[in-house]
Amino acid sequence: MTYESLEQAVAALRRHNQTMYAYHHAMSALMHDASTAAPKNTAAGRGKAMEILSGVTYGLVADPANGDLLAYLEAHADALDDVTRRQVEVFRKGYDQLGRIPAEEYVAYNVLINDAQDVWEKAKNASDFEMFAPYLEKIVDFNRKFAGYYDPEKLPYDALLNEYEEGLTMQTLDGFFAELRATIVPLLAKIQAAEQVDDSFLHKSFPVEEQKKLTEYLMEVQGLDRGHCGIAESEHPYTLSFNTRDTRITTHYYENHVTFAMYSTIHEGGHAIYDMGGDEVYDYTNLQGGVSMGIHESQSRFYENLIGRSRAYIHAIYPKFKELFPVQMEGVDAEMLYRAVNKVEPSLIRTEADELTYALHIMVRYEIEKRLIDGTLAVRDVPAEWNRLYKEYLGIDVPDDKHGCLQDSHWSGGAVGYFPSYAIGSAYGAQMLSRMKEDLGDFYADVEKGDLSKVTTWLHEKIHRFASFKKPGQLFEDVCGKFDARYFTDYLTAKFTELYHL
Amino acid sequence: MTYESLEQAVAALRRHNQTMYAYHHAMSALMHDASTAAPKNTAAGRGKAMEILSGVTYGLVADPANGDLLAYLEAHADALDDVTRRQVEVFRKGYDQLGRIPAEEYVAYNVLINDAQDVWEKAKNASDFEMFAPYLEKIVDFNRKFAGYYDPEKLPYDALLNEYEEGLTMQTLDGFFAELRATIVPLLAKIQAAEQVDDSFLHKSFPVEEQKKLTEYLMEVQGLDRGHCGIAESEHPYTLSFNTRDTRITTHYYENHVTFAMYSTIHEGGHAIYDMGGDEVYDYTNLQGGVSMGIHESQSRFYENLIGRSRAYIHAIYPKFKELFPVQMEGVDAEMLYRAVNKVEPSLIRTEADELTYALHIMVRYEIEKRLIDGTLAVRDVPAEWNRLYKEYLGIDVPDDKHGCLQDSHWSGGAVGYFPSYAIGSAYGAQMLSRMKEDLGDFYADVEKGDLSKVTTWLHEKIHRFASFKKPGQLFEDVCGKFDARYFTDYLTAKFTELYHL
């Protein structure tokens, strides 16, 4: 169709945005229900509903009328305000991508992903990679093909990386990971030769009811607005924002692992604060919510590690911890708690890794994904390569695929190229920390009093309020200048040299 | 459009049904989340999503292409199987109704209802009818007008009754309520002159954690399939079925009112068993779920009263009750518990009324609705008339509107003509009970052992499995023959004469 005025076209864009938002909200509610409240045998009916609604939203994006609308708006780009222009840009990207994927491939991929999740879960529990391999093969093939649709100019894996962190390339990552390894590997060797930290008291029995009180307290310290941010329990912790003013985080309680719920709550709380911090002008538009996975992880890991695992923070929450768990904390002072939550130890499971070795887990996945996509690694060889890399990077033996290449749900969910954003997020965070110190001086003195307001206000001003308005590279550079992994390696070196008296 | 074959038209009908189901599931998930899990300040974003999705579903039903589809299917009705023919009939009813309501009136009414709910809640809390009156006036006007759209041949209030219980008329209800009053009023007078039942022990302090265990136990006794039926907490108890295999019930715990959660759970469990009992052939169609409010209430109140408040049932659950609440139940035997849960006492609040006086609460609402719609009662006179009728029917004085005409959410939600289905459901249930006894003999001997399987199997065979396939009148008559209020009045007379030694 043609538009009679710019006003009319902008109104059509607004309607499209709001309609997409409504479906996002509804499908988020379905997913959140599935993970937190749904009775266990209800997947079939929910799958049916999701299949139909996914088809509807595909049609809403791929609708050829959107091509006319976009062409009209782009032809009048100079007359648009910045926010609308960016909306058009984001809309264009999604429209072109979906438009290039043939509808039958899109549907086939969604059916595959739906089946693969189920098969992966069973394969993981049976520690049987063979069961999952045919699905992973198809997922890799689809992703290689989709990469060509996303951006035929790019190398396929670069096109996939770009989906999760706009502008990120293998060239950047190869250099970044090399720098990281050059710091982490020798530092880890020194730590392993030093006197070990005792964290055994964190694995005593911590009643779930008391842990829930700790969660409430930690959310309060973090300044999470409970009128807009809910907490629930699920198998794996996550953050899901229905909209800027309605965010849900989840956690999982393990009686013998009190820090799991503690740090997953702080981590997801970081995602939630980012999502909730967007300016109102972006509400119900395609600029609502965080801009990329890398920036999102920079915020979640900022709160989790740079704040939550700082000495100041541990001193702030120590009295409450002691009050809730007097028996378990018998004879443990704040410094001992600080060292325990920072214990370094190469381990099998990424989500339980310490701050130092975490990036090594990511590097293993990066190497494997890169080679799966460029065809130099066959899916059937993934377990052997995984185990070899864990030995090489972390120095440990993988006993089985359940604790190895089947541990994460990302691949079964179709997310190839996602993992690197975790490591890049940590590095973004360290560089932000440096900048924050320049601006605010000794804000850790406030943190030590349990006051995170300066931290959150700074992040809000610099990052959160922009939602998805700025591209991630621009957003980062406007705050921190050029990205440099040195901030992260320096931070790790200083922290762990001091902590382990190296 | 025209259809090339019956097969093609039936496929279009199936697609329409499944699409409507998907939206029903999504919007149900939104509503359930709102009542059970959503953070308190998230209504705005959810309202936005609901408004958009409601608009989409309005368009899906009112789409003129449906007129062509229906005409084609109706022209080939003889070639359709019974189930498809009934789907066409139900689809036709909804299409014609919505088609007759001008779109702008439909939207205006939905906006009004949305606002009215908020205003009603505030008015109720402030006990200020004046605040709510302008909204109720508009709601009454809309309903009078809609009644003409629904069925211009019927008296307006009959057309509204027909929405909730197909075929129900004022003529039927006037006779039915007259019979009820003729039994209940003198019976109540005798009870009030007799020795009163002591239920004070039910209002001691019952810790919520223990009440939750009771709920779990009661659901088990009722035979609720927990793999398909969830339980959550909300302000007001309700049942919401996402689909035949995914039903959610809720309850609310009051520390000093243990039977509230107990009987609301059994009541909602009855709704859930009905919804979950539909044959698979109705899944994802417009015949999924219970057929009418009257039949639905007949099932919920069957479990709540005819089973749950029977001597046999109380004897069955008494040991568990005593085990969970040994201190509160000190010196209370099963017979005392049986009498306490059946204590008769005229009261102000419908949802807390006993089995005998419950219908009197409904009669007050029926009288008022009837006269609001036929114009012989003005909205501003509702409080005075309400209070007069409570004095006349129940012999009690209403202290304020919060405990009077503002207590229920039905009117603010636009449900005018809904209340009578509660009373008719109780009477349906009593007639079903009589028939069940003829078929099964002394099934209460099983109930006394905590075995409800014969009861549920009978109800499943006779009622549940048909979902919305049969019209309510037909469904009832196929099982019980002609409706006769005597079954209900005889039941009440026998039960309370014995219980109060009259």
The parts of chain A modelled with pLDDT lower than 70 are 1
Query: Are B263 and B353 in the same domain?
Result: yes
* Position A151 in a domain: no
DSSP H helices in A208-310: 208-222, 258-276, 293-301
pLDDT per residue as tens digits for the range B99-147: 888 888 988 898 898 889 889 989 999 999 999 999 999 999 999 999 9
Query: Are A429 and A301 in the same domain?
Result: yes
Query: Are A252 and A353 in the same domain?
Result: yes
Query: Are B174 and B46 in the same domain?
Result: no
Average pLDDT in chain B: 96
Asked if residues B238 and B265 have their Cβ atoms less than 8 Å apart, the reply is no
Partner-chain residue, chosen from B21, B32, B45, that has the shortest CB–CB distance to A49 = B21
Longest distance between any two alpha carbons in chain A, whole Å: 76
Query: Are A187 and A92 in the same domain?
Result: no
Instruction: Say whether A22 and B52 touch across the interface (CB within 8 A).
Output: yes
Query: Are B220 and B357 in the same domain?
Result: yes
The total number of structural domains in chain B stands at 2
Residue B1 reports pLDDT greater than 80? no
Residues A167, A169, A172, A175, Cα dihedral to 10°: 170
Pick the more confident residue, A236 or B444. B444
Residue B85 reports pLDDT greater than 80? yes
Q: How high is the pLDDT of residue A373?
A: 98
| % of chain B beyond a pLDDT of 90 | 93
Q: How high is the pLDDT of residue B2?
A: 82
Query: Are A94 and A178 in the same domain?
Result: no
Cβ partners under 8 Å of residue A145, min gap 6: A105
Instruction: Say whether B246 and A22 touch across the interface (CB within 8 A).
Output: no
What confidence category does residue B300 fall into, taking pLDDT thresholds of 50, 70 and 90?
Answer: very high
Cα–Cα dist A170/A178, whole Å: 12
What confidence category does residue B235 fall into, taking pLDDT thresholds of 50, 70 and 90?
Answer: confident
What confidence category does residue B419 fall into, taking pLDDT thresholds of 50, 70 and 90?
Answer: very high
* Position B159 in a domain: no
**Segment among A94-103, B73-82, B326-335 with least mean pLDDT:** A94-103
Query: Are B203 and B65 in the same domain?
Result: no
* Position A49 in a domain: yes
Residue B384 reports pLDDT greater than 80? yes
Partner-chain residue, chosen from B53, B230, B245, that has the shortest CB–CB distance to A45 = B245
Q: How high is the pLDDT of residue A97?
A: 87
Of B428, B177, B180, the closest CA to residue B296 belongs to: B428
Cα–Cα dist A124/B235, whole Å: 40
Å between B234 CA and nearest CA of chain A: 14
What are the backbone angles phi and psi of residue B246, rounded to the nearest 5°?
-155, 95
Indicate the residue among B50, B73, B99 that finishes a domain: B99
* Position A482 in a domain: yes
Indicate the residue among A62, A77, A99 that finishes a domain: A99
* Position A152 in a domain: no
Query: Are A297 and A185 in the same domain?
Result: yes
Size of interface A-B (CB pairs under 8 A): 132
Q: How high is the pLDDT of residue A41?
A: 93
Asked if residues B115 and B413 have their Cβ atoms less than 8 Å apart, the reply is no
Per-residue pLDDT averaged across B227-253, rounded?
Answer: 96
Length of chain A: 502
Instruction: Say whether B29 and A25 touch across the interface (CB within 8 A).
Output: no
Residue of B nearest to A51 (CA): B22
Q: How high is the pLDDT of residue A355?
A: 97
**DSSP annotation of B302:** I
DSSP B421-477: HHHHHHHHHHHHHHHHHHHHSSTHHHHTTT--HHHHHHHHHHTGGGTTSS-HHHHHH
Q: What CATH number is given to the structural domain containing A197? A: 1.10.1370.30
Partner-chain residue, chosen from B26, B30, B227, that has the shortest CB–CB distance to A53 = B26
The interface residues of chain B toward chain A in range 429-488, judged by CB-CB distance below 8 A, are none
Query: Are B287 and B388 in the same domain?
Result: yes
Query: Are B84 and B190 in the same domain?
Result: no
Whole-structure pTM value: 0.93
Q: How high is the pLDDT of residue A110?
A: 84
Longest distance between any two alpha carbons in chain B, whole Å: 76
State ipTM. Answer: 0.92
Q: What's the domain range around B24?
A: 6-99
Asked if residues B456 and B223 have their Cβ atoms less than 8 Å apart, the reply is yes
DSSP B186-206: HHHHHHHHSPPP--GGGGS--
* Position B115 in a domain: no
Cβ partners under 8 Å of residue A442, min gap 6: none
* B36 contact residues in A (CB cutoff 8 A): 37
Å between A53 CA and nearest CA of chain B: 7
pLDDT per residue as tens digits for the range B394-408: 999 999 999 999 999
Of B226, B267, B270, the closest CA to residue B246 belongs to: B226
B268 catalytically annotated:
yes
Instruction: Say whether A227 and B39 touch across the interface (CB within 8 A).
Output: yes
Q: Which two tokens stand for residue B497?
A: 């004469």
* Position B344 in a domain: yes
Indicate the residue among A44, A66, A99 that finishes a domain: A99
Q: How high is the pLDDT of residue B103?
A: 82
Q: How high is the pLDDT of residue B102?
A: 87
Partner-chain residue, chosen from B32, B37, B232, that has the shortest CB–CB distance to A230 = B37
Å between A204 CA and nearest CA of chain B: 25
Asked if B196 is an interface residue toward chain A (Cβ–Cβ < 8 A), one would say no
* Position B360 in a domain: yes
Residue B288 reports pLDDT greater than 80? yes
Query: Are A321 and A401 in the same domain?
Result: yes
